[in-house]
Amino acid sequence: MKKYINEMKKCIKLAKIAQGNTSPNPLVGCVILNSKGKILSTGCHIRYGEYHAERSALSKLDDAKDCTLVVNLEPCCHHGKTPPCTDLIIEKGIKRVVYGMKDPNPLVSGKGLQKLQDAGIEIVGPVLEKECIELNEAFVKNHTEHKPFIAIKTATTIDGKIACKNGSSKWITSSKARNQVKYIRNKYDAILTSSSTVIADNPAMLHKKKIILDRELKTDLNFEIYNQGEIYVFHDEKFSHPDTENIKFIGVPVNKEKLDIESVLNKLYEIGIMSILVEAGGKLNGSFLPFVDKIYQFIAPKISGDNQGISCFAGRRINNISECEDFVLQHSEIYSPDILLIFSKK
């Protein structure tokens, strides 16, 4: 299997081309090799509803007999927006399929590989399984837990502050770091923030879908955030507000004078929002910690020294260190002079 590592890395690279465009489908890349190991064709699932990666790569070849197909996710064996990839793989005469991970979707989950094996195709894998799972971590959670994947993005000083006591916060990090945030946002179906952030900063948050937690409906529709995109405003269910062309108002229960986050997330999953990036203040960040799968923490080489400054997870209160939410470091990246630490839930 080691000889297919480079090809699997290429599949992952191809899959990433479509980040932000395939949800609720996964990110998938495919490479087809001839009998001598030379790449004949490549493909990726470029957009939801369009060809899957295997079909994209195979459509470029007149003859794929005795070739090896490498793909980061088990080929599908059911009818969705497109026909099953397994049928085309068998029809084209592929000799060997190398896969990165099994599909967590119960409609596939091992059935695709079994169908190929029953047709006499050699199955090799998993190859780079950890990397393939990480690539489609949102898709995995959607199908195993039936919940949206939640990430938080925050930017802090070395001592964990996102703003001074008076609210001053622009800019903690450099333009290089802020440009990387645009790339991160594009990976997620929607951005979520609070009414407090909207009122304090009047951010535009340019994104196709935005979520605002506004318990008492305090935000004015003239704020920048309402000017673009598909917007979902969650509020206390005792209130009501008519929907507009691009804004949907959704009432949910309140728990201890806060919107019940679990109810919010369940509603969003029902709507079809599979991944969410939280960009808010410390209070909302802290409240979301029990539900978070990933944290992007940009750290600037600055120390505020302000013990009354605003902390990045101020909304989380514990009495014992054993109550901490535990995370593991996935990656670290440098956007000089800042550093990005990416954590996943332990």
- What are the C-alpha distances in Å from 111 to residues 119, 138, 154, 156? 12, 21, 41, 46
Give the integer Cα–Cα distance in Å for 93 and 107: 24
Tokens representing residue 259 in the block? 């919107």
For the stretch 67-87, what's the b/e string if a residue is b when 16 or more beta carbons lie within 10 angstroms of its beta carbon? bbbbbbbbbbbeeeeeebbbb
Active-site option among 7, 50, 54, 333: 54
- What are the C-alpha distances in Å from 250 to residues 37, 143, 162, 211? 54, 25, 29, 10
Give the integer Cα–Cα distance in Å for 212 and 246: 13
Tokens representing residue 272 in the block? 């079809």
54 is annotated as an active-site residue: yes
Hey, which residues are catalytic here?
54
